[in-house]
A and B are shown apart, each in its own frame.
With several copies, the nearest count.
Chain A
């Protein structure tokens, strides 16, 4: 199969949906010029009038996407960096997320908010955050964190066709990652984890870019005779709890790898789920591999220390595998 980048996969998903469904519109800063990292390149001229530039007014244009979604459009708005949520969050969490419940079910808000997250580009504290735990916390939102080009395309097409508000979190350090992606349109359903790797000794749940770290660690583990199952939830809300619990049922051991800040994040969320629902099968403490409780540092030395890497995943996996009461 042909190989394309994560960036191209997203661009293709947008193009195919713009093509397929007239109600899809796309908006964001600099969109006539492909946006800040070229993700929407070419769409502006290819779909006249349906790809909109916006002022630096996140509340207004994200809110506009939401309002338009209630009136028959399927807007895809880009919050350039997820770090900018602070100037547009009300429209997302108090409006879009709550409409359906507050209005007694009498509305659909099929809006997608695409946004870049994650560390690794030396972009420092205000341009490197994960923050998907904040969106996951909010009832009424769906949250997608694709780990590969294949996931990115299928999940974005699903997001656009989905009738609920979706936060679509793209890791900026993955844009150049390449992978096999079908040319035809396809969807990946929400709430269905991908079992990246099977294994009976330890379960590693990893989010977004962390899936790659887990895979690297798993290779190393396998070389040492330890077979790790790797689960990529793909969507953090809804979360495929069944697949996680089933795997822990087999392995009795869990490591959760989350690039987000450590307090009240997905690592704690998934640990807590397992500590409640699969306690009987647990044979070791649940390890969490996360960054420290600090902002993201600028310096390359510090940022490299900050981000969870394969070595840290490996250490955590070893610790739970070797654990004896």
Chain B
């Protein structure tokens, strides 16, 4: 368990440090396009993905860096991708919203709200056909919970009795639109019953709560018990995309009180394991990793004209 806790902390800290650094770097204007930051939601990806292994596949969202890191995608290659470099996860062709690494079971961040859930039905179906005991996990935002592709996927997962888990990350807003308004039921989890699966709600700042609920759902899925909808709730830190009007940012106070890392530290301090200095060491290691990731990304070559027309097809 201590190993798991260390790993949990390391992942959450890595995501946080990655996102805070991307936030700073984006402000310099060197990162092209848009970035959507996962900072604050670390406990969700981490609590879920710690249960996963090579047999399993996840699909992320447009706010996908955290999902990637939690599923083991290389942090340096991710940073290079965000900078549009040839050394990036996608050789600079995808960018922040399309980081994927199939070899790690990461089927991609996704620029389409609701893009992931159907795909994950497929990953779960493949696991079932191949009898690997693997599962598929689709992360989605509260806003994407109103997209027909998501709702259909919930029903299909049940009809096919798939080892699929849908993690609805309700951070209160889709861009500036509140989930209290856009989700007509009180909770996204209320939709689960209409699609014949269990629905649970957990506190997204509490790694332990997420970890436990995910463990139960994933365990059930592996044993042939079918899909689950987990609603993970939190308050958004930053604006929708970085550098926007910061609507939905519920003030600095939220940052203080609603922080999975602080809560995690407080909780493990009670138990005594992992020791504080271990966590501090992780902080330092992560800081260095991110520092290296940024400097290597900046130094890395950009793609060239030769790369423009490759990788469209396997053969054509």
Contacts and interface: CB of A to CB of B under 8 A. Distances in A.
Contacts of B120: 67
A52 B113 CA distance: 20
A199 interface: no
B181 A90 contact: no
A30 B121 contact: no
B307 interface: yes
B69 interface: no
B174 interface: yes
B112 A86 contact: yes
B314 A104 contact: no
Contacts of B114: 56, 87
B257 interface: no
A182 interface: no
B95 A67 contact: no
Nearest to B160: A52
A298 B83 CA distance: 10
Contacts of A32: 176-177
B155 interface: yes
B312 A53 contact: no
Interface string B100-135: 111100011011111101111111011101100000
Interface string A150-165: 0000000000001110
Interface stretch (B2-10, B139-147, B210-218, B265-273): B139-147
A297 B93 contact: yes
Interface residues of B, number: 77
Interface string A17-54: 00000000100011011001000000000000110111
B168 to A, nearest CB: 13
Contact of B121 (A49, A64, A99): A64
Contact of A68 (B32, B123, B156): B123
A58 B155 CA distance: 12
Given A163-B315, A299-B303, A56 B156 contact: no
A102 interface: yes
Given A87-B112, A102-B98, A103-B90, A56 B149 contact: no
A75 B125 CA distance: 11
Contact of A306 (B153, B175, B308): B308
A94 B312 contact: no
A279 B147 CA distance: 49
Interface in A93-125: 94-95, 99-108, 121-125
A299 B303 CA distance: 7
A100 B311 contact: yes
Contact of A87 (B126, B149, B303): B149
B64 interface: no
B93 A102 contact: yes
A299 to B, nearest CB: 4
Nearest to B120: A67
Contact of A63 (B88, B153, B174, B309): B153
Contact of A102 (B90, B156, B316): B90
B118 A67 contact: yes
A281 interface: no
Interface stretch (A1-9, A204-212, A226-234, A288-296): A288-296
Nearest to A237: B316
A299 B92 contact: yes
Nearest to B118: A63
B40 interface: no
Interface string B274-316: 0000000000000000000000000000111101111111111
Nearest to A300: B32
Given A62-B118, A104-B91, A104-B94, 17 more contacts: A33-B247, A52-B160, A53-B177, A53-B181, A55-B146, A59-B118, A60-B121, A61-B156, A63-B122, A67-B120, A68-B123, A102-B90, A102-B98, A103-B93, A125-B111, A164-B316, A301-B84
16 contacts: A30-B176, A50-B129, A60-B121, A60-B148, A67-B136, A70-B123, A87-B147, A101-B311, A102-B94, A102-B98, A122-B32, A140-B312, A238-B316, A298-B90, A298-B98, A301-B304
Interface of A: 25, 29-30, 32-33, 36, 49-50, 52-73, 75, 83-84, 86-87, 90-91, 94-95, 99-108, 121-127, 139-140, 142, 162-164, 191, 238, 292-295, 297-302, 305-306
**Lowest 10 A-B CB distances belong to which pairs?**
A67-B122, A63-B118, A298-B95, A126-B111, A67-B119, A122-B33, A104-B90, A122-B32, A104-B91, A60-B152
